[in-house]
Amino acid sequence: MTYVYTKRTYNGGVTDVPTIVKVEYVLSSLTKLIKVVDMWVDGKFHRLNWMSKEGQANLMDELERDYLNNYSAVS
């Protein structure tokens, strides 16, 4: 089963127009880690490795929080 995380960002305050990021992700049953399946930025295909390492780490933290808050049986 995959999950979709949607985020609105303003690129660090650089613009007044929001950027919409949608990430389809899954929790691996083998490694118990979150894996990104697909990602779109403003409706255009995007890859995780196109982001900075800091951006990747922040996104993975957000995905983990999204999973724990919305889909995890553990409270």
Residue 75 lies in a domain: no
* Interacting residues of 29 by C-beta distance below 8 A, sequence separation 6+: none
Domain with 65 in it? 3-70
- Give the pLDDT confidence of 35-67 residue by residue, as tens digits: 999 999 999 999 999 999 999 999 999 999 999
Count structural domains, the chain: 1
Residue 39 lies in a domain: yes
Alpha-carbon dihedral of residues 49, 53, 55, 61, nearest 10 degrees? 100
Residue 50 lies in a domain: yes
Percent of the chain having pLDDT more than 70? 95
Say how far apart CA 10 and CA 19 lie, in whole Å: 6
Q: Is the pLDDT at 3 greater than 70, yes or no?
A: yes
Residue 25 lies in a domain: yes
